[in-house]
Structure 1
Amino acid sequence: MLSAGVSGFALGATLIIAIGAQNAFILRQGLLRQHVFVLCLVCALSDAALIALGVAGFGALIASNETAIRLVTWAGAVFLSVYGVIALSRAWRPQALRAAGEGGGPLWPALATCLSFTFLNPHVYLDTVVLLGGISAGFEGQARLAFALGAMAASFVWFFALGYGARLLQPVFARPAAWRVLDGLIAIVMFALAASLVL
């Protein structure tokens, strides 16, 4: 059972740690110290819910629904493109490049953006529900539960480490040039992800 939990944690970490829109957003919010706990919790709980669906056997259902996957793919591509333009505009305008205090911006827009990054990304369904759910089928009973809990734990560890660990980089981001580079990289990631979804 312990080995199943370790396997779930390792596979979950491998899938989550890849550079993506959600991680870039959490990194930026961590640097700004805006709603870090709530946003990290939302990301981790969302992953946990999707993993639970996959382990419960919903992976095959989602994988077979091409219309739903196509709709999410196009909605995700549009959303990522729009956010890429926003990041590019932040990088272009020096007055937008400043660190905010704890809880500086309103929570609801940040929460809506976070949920969009999570649920408008078809890869999240393929990774958590289909892939993790499919692999969990190789375990029985308590071992399958341990695998699922291990994968969920990886998500909690990663998002909170990223959100709160970003503060260690704050001396670097005291300079506007660093924010310009970060937002420029975020824009590139968003456009690349949107293109990969369309293609």
Structure 2
Amino acid sequence: MLESYVTGLLVSGGIIIAIGAQNAYVLGVAVRREHHWWSAGLCMSTDALLILAGMFGVSAVLLSMPSALEALRWLGVVFLTWLAAQAFLRAATGRQGLSVDGASERSPRRVLLATLAVTLLNPQVYLDTLLLIPSIGAQQQSSATFVAGAVTASILWFSLLAWGGAALSPWLSRPLAWRAIDGTIGVMMAVIAVHLAINSPATA
């Protein structure tokens, strides 16, 4: 069961850390110290609900359809490889840092609505939580423990974004920091893709 928990923690963590619209938004409000813990908490709750829905809704279907599980495994490999390539490209070419100037503080309601928008209007969120994570979790010895690890990863990551973004705002405003972040993301995505490619779904 511990292996399932650690797998959920690492897989979900690696996917969540792939900086997208949601993560960049939370970092932005954290850098500006603009109701960032509310924003992070909403992201944690949404991730937990989507992971639970995907895991316990999709895993039963996957287990009864080994061919579908195999197809999802290779879809996951392709998707993770694409994420790694995108991250390496950003690390090589660079991008602008987060702006911390000229921000007027918004109400918690506006921040939460914007957080919901960047979370639920991003198709990658559904690919991750309803497709990719369940396809890996269905292969684990304990689905519930895997989900606990996956949810823990979300809590840890968004807590880190909220706390670290506020504490390290001068460093995070520099483009060089994003090259380091994107390079790390690329390595993590590539390692997960290789692991998924060389491990066949459980057939027991």
- TM-score, with structure 1 as normaliser: 0.63
Q: Quote how far apart the aligned CAs of 1:30 are.
A: 0.6
1:110 aligns with 2:114: no
Q: 1:85 is matched with which residue?
A: none
Distance 1:170 1:26 in 2: 12
**What root-mean-square deviation, in Å, do the aligned CA atoms of Structure 1 and Structure 2 show?**
2.9
Match status 1:154 vs 2:158: no
Report the Cα distance in structure 1 between the residues aligned to 2:118 and 2:5, rounded to whole angstroms. 27
Tell me whether 10-19 or 159-168 shows the greater mean CA deviation. Answer: 159-168
State the 1:170 CA deviation.
3.1
Return 5+ residue gaps in structure 1 as ranges: 62-87, 183-199
Structure with a larger share of its residues in helix = 1
CA distance in 2, matches of 1:172, 1:151: 29
**2:200 match:** none
Is 2:96 aligned against 1:97? no
Q: Summarize the alignment of residues 24-173 of structure 1 with structure 2, pairs less than 5 Å apart.
A: 24-58=24-58, 97-98=101-102, 104-140=105-141, 143-172=142-171
Distance, in Å, in 2 between the alignment partners of 1:170 and 1:37 is: 15
Indicate if the aligned counterparts of 1:53 and 1:133 stay in contact, CA closer than 8 A. Answer: no
Query: Aligned residues: percent identity?
Result: 36
TM-score (norm 2): 0.62
Compute the displacement of 1:43 (Å): 0.2
- Verify the 8 A CA contact 1:136 1:144 in the aligned structure 2: yes
Q: Does the residue aligned with 2:49 lie in a helix, a strand or coil?
A: helix
Equivalent residue, structure 2, for 1:5: 5
- C-alpha contact (below 8 Å) 1:136/1:148 kept by paired residues: yes
1:139 Cα deviation (Å)?
2.7
Q: Which amino acid aligns with 1:149?
A: A
2:170 & 2:6 partners in 1: Cα distance? 35
Deviations 1:158-193 (A, max 9, x none): 0110111012323457xxxx58x69xxxxxxxxxxx
How far apart are the structure 1 equivalents of 2:2 and 2:45? 22
Name segments (4+ residues, structure 1) moved above 4 Å. Answer: none
Aligned residues: 143
Q: CA deviation at 1:10?
A: 0.2
